[in-house]
Amino acid sequence: MFAYCGFLFLLRTRPGSEIVGYEFVIQYWFFYPFNDGANNHEGDWEHINVIVTIKDREDSLLSEKEIERIFAPLFVVDSEISSNLDCSNGKKIPSNLLEDLNLKGQISLSQNSIVTIRRGIEWSITDNNKPDTTDDDKSYTIREGEDKLNVDAGNNNKFDIDLEFQDDLDRKDIPDGLRSKFERNEIPLSGNAIVTIEKGIEWLITDNGSKQTYTIKKEGNKLNVYLSLNLG
């Protein structure tokens, strides 16, 4: 059996295209190569819908603002706490930080809450020495994969590089080994190529008491705290 998960926003309208409301649906698809039920046959897709809504609104459609609330941060904390989060990587949250988060977010993190730095970062390498090219053709996006860094060089030119280059990219360096990887894919980088970090670091707080997780994302000059949906 194979499984697939996707997200849907369902727009409910009346005749004349008047918007009645919205539903946020997580749709799980399951493929069965063989189905030996009442009508024995090969290849069968089945799915279930999980509707995500706001408490006490289970029987109602949501407005556009209410849909935004589902994805909005629970609360905002000062960017100064990022250093405390970094120092706590893989450890329990210091008691003073724990109290601050619980007070600001009106949540109930337990003493068993652990901080994990998630390097969910995108880097962009921009080579401004390429004449007669558009801005898109001068930039290459690097994203973290499971065990590799994935490079998207545009025009369906994609290749992988080793995770060992992650620290170099964090320092905004382009070492010779990384340049060689680009050259092997027919993308020679000039001496003026620069690295830009597109997305800041994320921190994951895991409460081993309640089994709830929270994601803290650096967005602009703020740290936004999000409730993590466990879709497993």
Mean pLDDT of the chain: 78
pLDDT band at 138 (very low <50, low <70, confident <90, very high): low
As a whole number of angstroms, the distance between CA 125 and CA 220 comes to: 20
Whole-number pLDDT of residue 205: 82
Based on the domain organization, do 59 and 36 belong to the same domain?
A: yes
Based on the domain organization, do 171 and 213 belong to the same domain?
A: no
Asked if residue 119 has pLDDT above 60, the reply is no
Per-residue pLDDT of 167-176, as tens digits, reads 888 788 899 9
Per-residue pLDDT of 157-168, as tens digits, reads 778 888 888 888
Asked if residue 231 has pLDDT above 50, the reply is no
Q: Tell me, yes or no, whether 232 lies in a domain.
A: no
As a whole number of angstroms, the distance between CA 48 and CA 78 comes to: 40
Based on the domain organization, do 102 and 128 belong to the same domain?
A: no
Q: Which of 46-55, 89-98, 144-153 has the lowest mean pLDDT?
A: 144-153
Whole-number pLDDT of residue 176: 93
Based on the domain organization, do 8 and 44 belong to the same domain?
A: yes
pLDDT band at 137 (very low <50, low <70, confident <90, very high): low
Whole-number pLDDT of residue 232: 46
Based on the domain organization, do 58 and 108 belong to the same domain?
A: no
As a whole number of angstroms, the distance between CA 37 and CA 54 comes to: 38
How many domains does the chain fold into? Answer: 3
Based on the domain organization, do 190 and 132 belong to the same domain?
A: yes
pTM of the model: 0.47
What order of strands is seen across the sheet that includes strand 149-152?
158-161, 149-152, 139-144, 122-127, 193-197
Question: What residue numbers bound the domain in which 174 lies?
Answer: 122-197
